[in-house]
Amino acid sequence: MAQTAVAPSANPLLADWTGPAGGVPPWDKVRPELFPQAFQTTLAERTAEYRKIADNPAKPTFANTIVPIQLAGKRYGQVMTLFGVMTGNMNTPAYQKLDREWSPKFSAASDAITFDKPLFARIQAVYDARNSSGLDAQQIRLVTRIYDSYVRQGAKLNDAQKAQLSQYNQQLATQFSTFGEKLLADESKAISVTDEAQLAGLPDSVKAVAKAAAAERKLPGFAIVNTRSAVDPVLTYATDRALREKVWRAFVNRGGNGDANDTNATIAQIVKLRADRAHLLGFKTHADWRMQDTMAKTPAAAMDLMMRVWPAAKGRVAEEVADMQKIAGASLTIEPWDYRFYQEKVRKSRYDLDQAQLKPYFELGNIIQGSLYAANRLYGLNFKEITGTVPVFEPNMRVWSVTDKAGKDVGLFYRDDFARTGKRSGAWANTYRGQRGLAPAQLVLSSNNNNFAKGAPGEPILISLDDAQTLFHEFGHAIHAMLQNVQYPGLAGTPRDFVEYPSQVNEHWLLTRDVLDKYARHYQTKAAMPQDLLDKIEKSRTFNQGFATAEYLSSAIVDMKIHTVANGVIDPDKFEAATLAEIGMPKQLVMRHRVPQFQHLFSSDSYSAGYYSYLWSETMDADTFAAFEEAGSPWDKPTADKFARLLLSTGNETDRAEAYRAFRGRDPDVNALLKKRGFAPTQAAQDAK
């Protein structure tokens, strides 16, 4: 890509962030052609900052080594935030080209810092003297974590090993970009439907979304985009079984169609590179390496938890399929594209509850307000909408300023809620800038990103109960970021298997009577959800948990199995099939994320050997909400205050398992998880208590 001729001083990506909350990203000025210069400038700047730390002739101390490390690379971090968000939310061929070109360069530059001998010697000197140099507990923990991280990343390898490791990391960075590019191409496709009769059974709101998607793509009639938010309603409501199968196959085969967008070869390379890297670093498998800094600690511990729950999930699926088969009759055998359709019929039969009845009460704007209300009532966070006063990268985004219960500024909260071409699938939280107490202090810039379907202009945006739960889930991540109050950025993050805990806990407040009464209001009549409908939701809470648990757990088990193959040699499709056969995967459903499209695992290292973390977090989340129930109310203020103080505000300043024990007085009770999902306690779960 040709570099822009603009001078660095005039490049808006290199400018200080200005505006409220200590400065905001200049989203309105971000253009792909500005990034090469910004990358070059800030990479060089960061290298110089670390060089200054490494070459300091003074005796290494916490103040002259660890503190500067905490502050280094600020402008580089800002540029990478801008780039990361654009590639995730507004991707184009220009951004894909940049990602391909620069990802290995970023990896090499980071390795150069990790492998810098004088720098690591200074870190080691501070580490060796940590208990005799007057440091407080947080400073000792920070020094220890930095030292351990450098060692895990290869700082103690010899020069030849470091060169090899850097090659592995650069190759992985390239393959991650390739995987993301191929998957995005498959998810940008859509199934065209010209005969409206094929859409029989779909609610009008879903058809309106499909019509808008067709218009956007200049297609006649309707278009069903190959993303979960568009596909699930078709699988749930469409009476045309052939259409359901066609839509289902397109969705579950993303990345696995044997064409130019097939990801299997890319995944095989990623898995092999990860295994080779783990061996170089002295670990048996990639999973062993990745799990060093987790609560579970070992692949065996994670597998143990998953296999305690798997039999109950599988047994419940068999019950669910039997119930569906009774309704379907002998002339039809339940297949995966039938599951959601017939589960709705069972729900209607058993609870007199139709998901289509609920949608009119889940208007997006109201549910957003409900999430803000809950955060205010629980934690004292105050939200004031300031949309239109700060830059955004997409005109439908909304922004709030956030203050705490004392009126002190916390930061800003952004929402980017709608699906579009160039936006990756799923839902996620971003932190554009994390809180920091270390001078110069920083306020939070947090965001939530969803792929809700947007109808025609002026149409109400109605979301499903599942979507509403996703909204509360992602907002839980934002709450975690906004309540954080740490001194050092190096103690801000948490173990991967803790990350989903605050978000999963937050889901519970959606279905509290208070939130539903106030915010689940009919989009036309404004009437509150009738009590009998509320009662039906309550009674059906554990409905279909076999499906939900099995599709998730199978994905997590396959992830762990892939990343415990010692030599890293796999055929992804065959490995998936063999693993599912080994655990007895019910044939009526598929993994929530099949291997060829498993973005959590193959777009970065982030969740690799870590997808189990949702279940690990859920053992804490279910037990945490039980603490509120034991206190007599989901709004019990002393419990909320204690939860925020010990677990939400402290980042990684203390061991997370110890922090949980301080909150609950014991380790999590696995039976709380089983109860939440409607499974009977098992003997294995009893043994785990």
For 156-181, the pLDDT digits (tens) are 999 999 999 999 999 999 999 999 99
Q: Which of 474, 500, 507, 653 is catalytic?
A: 474
Residue with tokens 């056969």: 581
Question: At 508, is the secondary structure helix, strand, or coil?
Answer: helix
Range 507-512 average pLDDT: 96
Cβ-based neighbour number of residue 527 at 10 Å: 10
Name the DSSP letter for residue 429: E
- Residue-by-residue DSSP string for 72-108: TTHHHHHHHHHHHHHHHHS--HHHHHHHHHHHHHHHH
Give ∠ CA 538-540-542 in degrees, rounded to 5.
105
- Phi/psi of residue 199, each to 5°? -95, 15
Cα 64–chain centre separation: 36
Give ∠ CA 577-581-582 in degrees, rounded to 5.
120
pLDDT at 2 over 70: no
- Position 682 scores a pLDDT of 56
- Position 683 scores a pLDDT of 40
How far is residue 607's CA from residue 589's CA, in Å, rounded to a whole number? 23
pLDDT tens-place string over residues 124-148:
999 999 999 999 999 999 999 999 9
How far is residue 339's CA from residue 316's CA, in Å, rounded to a whole number? 14
* Predicted confidence band of residue 5 (pLDDT cuts 50, 70, 90): low
**What rounded mean pLDDT belongs to the chain?**
95
* Predicted confidence band of residue 9 (pLDDT cuts 50, 70, 90): confident
Give 224's strand partners: 191
Structure tokens at 356: 């289509």
The overall pTM is greater than 0.95: no
pLDDT at 41 over 70: yes
Range 474-499 average pLDDT: 97
Query: Among 648, 639, 661, which residue's Cα sits nearest to residue 485?
Result: 648
Top pLDDT among 367 and 534 is at: 367
- Position 129 scores a pLDDT of 99
Q: At what angle do helices 545-562 and 613-631 cross, to 10 degrees?
A: 140
Helix (H) or strand (E) holding 122: helix 117-128
Structure tokens at 564: 């415990």
Structure tokens at 138: 């947080």
Percent of the chain topping pLDDT 70: 98
How far is residue 649's CA from residue 656's CA, in Å, rounded to a whole number? 12
pLDDT tens-place string over residues 254-264:
999 999 999 99
Q: 312-349 burial, b if ≥16 CB within 10 A, otherwise e?
A: bbbebbeebbebbbeebeeeeebebbbbbbbbbebbee
pLDDT at 67 over 60: yes
CB 72 within 8 A of CB 49: yes
How far is residue 307's CA from residue 584's CA, in Å, rounded to a whole number? 12
Top pLDDT among 453 and 287 is at: 287
pLDDT tens-place string over residues 607-637:
999 999 999 999 999 999 999 999 999 999 9
- Position 681 scores a pLDDT of 72
Label residue 500 exposed, middle or buried (CB < 10 Å: 0-12, 13-18, 19+). Answer: buried
Q: 219-239 burial, b if ≥16 CB within 10 A, otherwise e?
A: beebbbbbbbbbbbbbbbbbe
Label residue 277 exposed, middle or buried (CB < 10 Å: 0-12, 13-18, 19+). Answer: buried
* Predicted confidence band of residue 603 (pLDDT cuts 50, 70, 90): very high
Please tell me the least confidently modeled range out of 65-69, 151-155, 421-425.
421-425
CB 401 within 8 A of CB 21: yes
Residue with tokens 């218009």: 215
pLDDT at 560 over 50: yes
- Position 110 scores a pLDDT of 98
474 annotated active-site: yes
Range 264-273 average pLDDT: 99
How far is residue 331's CA from residue 8's CA, in Å, rounded to a whole number? 70
The gap between the terminal CA atoms of the chain, to the nearest Å, is 58
pLDDT at 62 over 50: yes
pLDDT at 117 over 60: yes
* Predicted confidence band of residue 1 (pLDDT cuts 50, 70, 90): very low
How far is residue 637's CA from residue 98's CA, in Å, rounded to a whole number? 49
How far is residue 161's CA from residue 159's CA, in Å, rounded to a whole number? 5
pLDDT tens-place string over residues 223-254:
999 999 899 999 999 999 999 999 999 999 99
Domains for the chain: give ranges and CATH numbers: 8-156 (1.10.1370.40), 190-252 (no CATH), 264-353+544-611 (1.10.1370.10)
- Position 425 scores a pLDDT of 87
Structure tokens at 666: 């014991």
* Predicted confidence band of residue 373 (pLDDT cuts 50, 70, 90): very high
Q: At what angle do helices 241-252 and 228-237 cross, to 10 degrees?
A: 150
pLDDT at 687 over 70: no
